[in-house]
Amino acid sequence: MEVTIVKNKESEKLEEILNQPYILILFNDDKHTFEFVITCLMSICNHTYEQATQVSYTVHYKGKCDVKRGSKEYITKKMQQLRNNGLTVTMETI
């Protein structure tokens, strides 16, 4: 008897999230402008202008926001690039 496993979109989305267990967190500071943060998020994290703007406002009002998910190697690279631009970021696991 052969067993067939059927995946639906919800299980595929859950699997995708579980395979990306690291989160890049951006923290608020008083030294960078919205435009600077938006530009960094667009160029380093490949955010759209709208995404980067929303993240920058969330960081401003809530103090922090997750900006990217991925493998440890990927998030470490992005974290270093953002730090090189003077932004305060950390990496956490889900």
Cα 35 to Cα 52: distance, rounded to the nearest angstrom: 9
Q: b/e for 7-34, b at 16 or more Cβ within 10 A? A: eeeeeeeeeeeeebebbbbbebeeebee
**Reported pTM:** 0.80
Run of H or E including 57: helix 49-62
Percent of the chain with pLDDT over 70: 85
Residue 86's DSSP bridge partners are: none
Sketch out the chain's domains with CATH numbers. Answer: 19-93 (3.30.1390.10)
pLDDT of 5 > 90? The answer is: no
pLDDT of 32 > 70? The answer is: yes
pLDDT tens figures, 34-48: 999 999 999 999 999
pLDDT tens figures, 16-30: 656 779 999 999 999
